[in-house]
Amino acid sequence: MFAAIAAQFEENYRLAVDACRRATLPLCLCTIYNGCFADPSFQRTVTTALKIFNDAILRVGFELKLPMIDLRFVCSCTADFANPIEPSSMGGAKIARAIVNVVSGAKGDMSSARVFVDT
């Protein structure tokens, strides 16, 4: 079941990325952050399930040598979330800084795929 879901997501994701690339504008991919759920067991389940999707996102990004922001590292603490699935103002500011780092080239040249995280 997981393999089928992963394959369908990756196929659809590749189509979406290809469509974005046709616009010939700069493109940066982002992983899906893990959220912040109160129940540790449910958090573990969500985090595990999201790995299927994040793996596909990263694989596509690396293959196409696109810059990527790994939101799992950007929004990594409880204060980064306003609720289980939405960033707080602090999390939003961290995401904005990560985007600025990508578009400004602050983390180095963009000639190969790189994963950007807020430090």
Task: State the average pLDDT over residues 62-75.
Answer: 93
Multiple choice CATH, 2-116, 2.30.30, 3.30.1360, 3.40.50, 1.10.3470: 3.40.50
Phi, psi of 34 (to 5 degrees): -80, -10
Domain boundaries, the chain: 2-116
Order of all β-strands in the sheet with 67-69? 29-30, 67-69, 114-116
Burial of 118 (0-12, 13-18, 19+ CB in 10 A): buried
3-class secondary structure, 56: helix
Residue 79 pLDDT class (50, 70, 90 cuts): very high
pTM for this model (two decimals): 0.85
Task: State the average pLDDT over residues 67-88.
Answer: 96
